[in-house]
Amino acid sequence: MIGKGVKASVGLLWAVAVAIAPASAGAQNKELSDKSVTMLMQYAWAMTPAKFTTPQGKVIEVDKNKPKDVIIPLDVAREVIRVGRLSAYAQICELGEEQTANYQTLMRREAAKKKWSDQQMLYITQLHLFTVMTLTGKVQLVERDGDKQVVMKEGAPPKSETCTDTERKKIQAQIMSYVNTQPAPATQAETKATTQKK
């Protein structure tokens, strides 16, 4: 269902972008509908590569014919998208450090759950990335062989949104709140001790 639905629903991308992009950077607390979350999940799946090499040299292979083995539950996806929205607003407000901290906190938190495969962690990264790209104008629709497809734009998009000092401070506060409410990542000693108990 996920694979086949992407091209058919691609025209609705802009409706999703509107749904996840309120009028100002400071007003992003609106809850997404299940339909919008599902659509973003579909696009993120379409963007997930079949093979990916991490910066540490680890190769992750994804069977694109088995989305159910990789795609995360809707409630988790909604949280990833929520964090992605914050990352996008941080980018719009030119808050690079906060954007990085926001993303890293998300990934540490999901890794700490110890329930996701490497493929699912890659998918979480793609879902976060696609949310950011949608809000910052780095994806576009192009027609290929009669089908409209989502593609990444090359280079930086023209800056269409601005961020006031008030909005910037609000985004900073929201990200710092998110970062500080997450449990600190386990140290290697703590992880080893937990493993030995099992």
Query: What is the pLDDT at residue 33?
Result: 85
> What's the CA gap between 134 and 92, in Å, rounded?
12
> What's the CA gap between 54 and 67, in Å, rounded?
21
Torsion sign, CA atoms 134, 136, 138, 140:
positive
Q: Where are the domains of the chain?
A: 2-197
> In the Cβ-directed half-sphere of 127, how many Cα atoms lie within 13 Å?
29
- The pTM of the full predicted model, rounded to 2 decimals, is 0.74
Among left, alpha and beta (phi > 0; psi -120 to 50; other), residue 54 is beta
pLDDT in tens, the chain (198 residues): 444 444 434 444 545 554 555 444 444 456 778 888 998 899 899 989 999 998 899 999 999 999 999 999 999 999 999 999 999 999 999 999 999 999 999 999 999 999 999 999 999 999 999 999 988 887 765 556 655 455 665 555 544 567 899 999 999 999 999 999 855 555 444 444 444 444
The two tokens of residue 155 are 């280079």
> What's the CA gap between 96 and 87, in Å, rounded?
9
Decide if 74 contacts 10 (C-beta within 8 A).
no
> What's the CA gap between 131 and 89, in Å, rounded?
11
Query: What is the pLDDT at residue 163?
Result: 85
